[in-house]
């Protein structure tokens, strides 16, 4: 089999749409407040980004500082029933507000069109549940983006990130010949780990995603020194998770793919 890339599998919020990944993070804050009158900061809500949303709430409940405040407020640890209640509060809020954060990240459409012209397939995985993704997919399609495959956190019984299952489901759905001919593009450490655990090349997005937490206006206004600091800070997290390449935003993806293709042609594997 010729050693060439066959597919790119993109994350959604912070990678392809929703610069800064604001749709899910603010709604975690709101869901905790509405469900239990419990206060989270936006920074705390961002910390587990990339996980499935139920698992995200669970991870927040296990955070030592949050767990301490929860116990002080309620006299007990967060239970699975509490997580279920917050999750059920989260779902309608997310479905309602996802439209406000559905804009494509600049350059995304041009990059995807280039990949399609080269014969690559486009897959996608997400921590969003299917109920939310059905609406987001409609909005993205209206803006010109419709991947060949969408796998959601609640689609598979095995679970979601950082496990490999969603990425591997894309491999099956897209009929890919070799997992090593796939590239996973993501803005979070669990998303990068998903790709590595699936045996794929991985590209980490440093400035448009949740760890940076910048709006598009923040990004455009940032001085080169500020961009360099954020790039180094987020890049260290994504490298630690196993990213083979780092880019600022999806608009910078094509040169990174060219370098991966060179390594693949030279006999390297992820």
Q: pLDDT digit string (tens) for 29-80?
A: 999 999 999 999 988 998 888 888 899 999 999 999 999 999 999 999 999 9
Query: Which residue is catalytic, options 11, 18, 82, 187?
Result: 11
For residues 166 and 160, the answer to whether their CB atoms sit within 8 Å is: yes
63 catalytic? Reply is no
206 contacts 248 by C-beta, under 8 angstroms? yes
Q: Residue 52's closest CA among 135, 154, 133?
A: 154
Neighbours of 77 (CB within 10 A): 11
- Closest by CA to 204, choosing from 182, 231, 165, 175, is 231
**Cα(91)–Cα(44) distance, integer angstroms:** 19
- Encoded tokens for 237: 């997290």
One of 1.10.3720.10, 2.70.98.60, 3.40.50.1000, 3.30.70.20 is the CATH number of 7-21+101-265, namely 3.40.50.1000
**What is the Cα–Cα distance from 246 to 208, expressed in whole angstroms?**
12
Active-site residue flag, 218: no
pTM: 0.91
- Binning pLDDT at 50, 70 and 90, where does residue 253 land? very high
Please tell me the distance from the alpha carbon of residue 48 to that of residue 16, in angstroms, as a whole number: 19
Domain segments of the chain: what residues? Answer: 7-21+101-265, 23-100
Residue 189 has a pLDDT of 96
Of 53, 184, 186, 252, catalytic: 53
pLDDT tens by residue, 129-151 = 898 899 999 999 999 999 999 99
Report, at the CATH architecture level, how domain 23-100 is classified.
Orthogonal Bundle (1.10)
Indicate the pairing of strand 245-247 with strand 201-205: parallel
């Amino acid at each position: 089999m010729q050693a060439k890339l066959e597919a790119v599998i993109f994350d959604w919020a912070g990678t392809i749409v929703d610069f800064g990944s604001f749709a899910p993070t603010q709604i975690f804050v709101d869901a905790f407040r509405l469900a239990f009158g419990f206060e989270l900061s936006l920074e705390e809500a961002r910390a587990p980004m990339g996980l499935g949303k139920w698992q995200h709430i669970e991870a927040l409940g296990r955070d030592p500082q949050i767990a301490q405040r929860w116990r002080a407020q309620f006299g007990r640890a967060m239970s699975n029933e509490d997580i279920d209640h917050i999750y059920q509060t989260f779902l309608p809020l997310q479905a309602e507000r996802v439209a406000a954060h559905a804009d494509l990240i600049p350059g995304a459409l041009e990059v995807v069109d280039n990949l399609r012209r080269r014969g690559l397939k486009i897959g996608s995985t997400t921590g969003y549940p299917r109920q939310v993704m059905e609406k987001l997919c409609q909005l993205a399609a209206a803006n010109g983006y419709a991947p060949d495959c969408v796998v959601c956190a609640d689609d598979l019984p095995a679970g979601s990130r950082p496990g490999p299952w969603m990425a591997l489901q894309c491999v099956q759905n897209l009929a890919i010949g070799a997992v090593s001919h796939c590239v996973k593009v993501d803005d979070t450490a669990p998303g990068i780990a998903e790709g590595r655990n699936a045996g794929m090349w991985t590209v980490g997005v440093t400035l448009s995603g949740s760890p940076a937490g910048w709006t598009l206006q923040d990004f455009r206004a940032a001085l080169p020194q500020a961009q360099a600091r954020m790039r180094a800070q987020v890049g260290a997290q994504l490298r630690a998770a196993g990213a083979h390449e780092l880019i600022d935003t999806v608009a910078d993806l094509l040169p990174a793919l060219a370098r991966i293709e060179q390594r693949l042609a030279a006999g390297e594997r992820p």
